[in-house]
Amino acid sequence: MLVPLTREKFEQLIPLIATGLQYKHYWGKFSNFLQRLLISVIIASVILLIEVILRLPIGPVVFFFGLVGALYWLWGPVLWASLRNWKCRRYKYAGFFRGRVLDWWITEELVGTQETVNNKGDLVIVENREKRINLEVGDESGFTALLKAPLQNSHKIINRGQVAEMLVFSSSPDLSRIEEITDIYIPNRNLWVSDYPFLRQDYFKEVSRRIYDDREERPRNRRRSRQPRERQREIDGYYDYEEFERSPREERREIDRYYEDEVEQYERSSRERPRETDRYYEDEVEQYERPSRERPRETDRYYEDEKRKLPPLENKPRNPRKRRNNNEDDW
């Protein structure tokens, strides 16, 4: 992500006069202090010799320059830090870059050489090497940048994929060509990786927080603005306003059609019910009449079979005496 910055913010992030961290960076080690002190003594000596030898009537001016030269060891770091800041401020355009750590590795680089003589009297060149961390950052657009910085113990917490922020400089208004980068800030670790602290760290953190908040609020505002519209569309889709716009006559017609359909169904059922009832009773009567007709036939058959099974009867003569008749003349 690359966000262009205004000139005002750019100048606030890169101050004209050196900050405390920049002054500390150029203050250096004790050897650097001795070098500046030696330069201060030389400047003061030269100005004093000029005053004594030439005897020019510019005593206050010579005194001022002599005092300034003698204090070079004190204001020298401010001068060099301000010059380095000016090299960045000469670019017309700047942008806030937010990406991720793509890769990192450690190398050794030659810082300086020293010539000494050993016990045998031979000239020996001693190389001063310093371990440096190479930090490569980039974003989804394909832009990558490489920063080299002295290795520190705090760099152990750097991992691939962490968010990295920095400031980039360009001479084109669209920031299509990046010419310079600043120190890298890793927000989740509150860690700065730099060879020189270009930025005002407190102000840079504030700018980062504001840009992050603006990026988070824009999607929320879009959602809020879309919600009433989408909700109204859902309401319009759910409620059919044509039903509410119908006239009372159309509603009365629909009611009449509904009741006509109900009456028609009721009449159909009332007509079909007697038919079904008659059919039911006809079937019942028919089933009742069938056994009454068939039962005598079966009974006759049963008795005929029984008669056949019985033995035949013998024909015995009748006793005439036992026969009574009211007419006695028939004896």
Domain ranges of the chain: 9-90, 94-199
The Cα 163–Cα 189 span in angstroms is: 9
30: left (phi over 0), alpha (psi -120 to 50) or beta: alpha
CB of 218 within 8 A of CB of 3? no
- The helix (H) or strand (E) run that includes residue 302 is helix 248-309
pLDDT score recorded for residue 98:
95
Per-residue pLDDT of the chain in tens (331 residues, 90 and over written 9): 899 999 999 999 999 999 999 999 999 999 899 999 999 999 989 888 888 887 777 678 888 888 899 999 999 999 999 999 999 999 999 999 999 999 999 999 988 888 888 888 788 888 888 999 999 999 998 899 999 999 999 999 999 999 999 999 999 998 989 999 999 999 999 999 999 999 999 999 999 999 888 877 765 555 555 555 555 565 455 444 444 444 555 656 666 676 677 667 666 655 655 566 566 656 665 665 555 555 566 667 776 776 676 666 555 555 554 444 444 444 4
User: Scanning the structure block, which residue is given the tokens 């569309």?
Assistant: 233
Give exposure, 165-187, as e/b (b: 16+ Cβ within 10 Å): bbbbbbeeeebeebebbbbbbbe
How does DSSP assign 21-43, residue by residue?
HHHHHHH-SHHHHHHHHHHHHHH
The Cα 251–Cα 94 span in angstroms is: 70
Q: How far is CA 20 from CA 77, 199, 206, in A?
A: 10, 11, 19
CB of 118 within 8 A of CB of 63? no
Query: Could you tell me the two tokens for 173?
Result: 């208004």
The Cα 151–Cα 134 span in angstroms is: 9
Q: What are phi and psi of 132, to 5 degrees?
A: -130, 150
CA 128 centroid distance within chain? 48
The answer to pTM > 0.85 is no
CA-wise closest residue to 79 among 15, 18, 13: 18
pLDDT score recorded for residue 115:
83
State the CB neighbour count (10 A cutoff) for residue 198. Answer: 26
CA 90 centroid distance within chain? 39
How much of the chain is helix, strand and coil, in % rounded to 5?
55, 20, 25
**Torsion sign over Cα 39, 45, 47, 50:** negative
CA-wise closest residue to 101 among 150, 132, 141, 135: 135
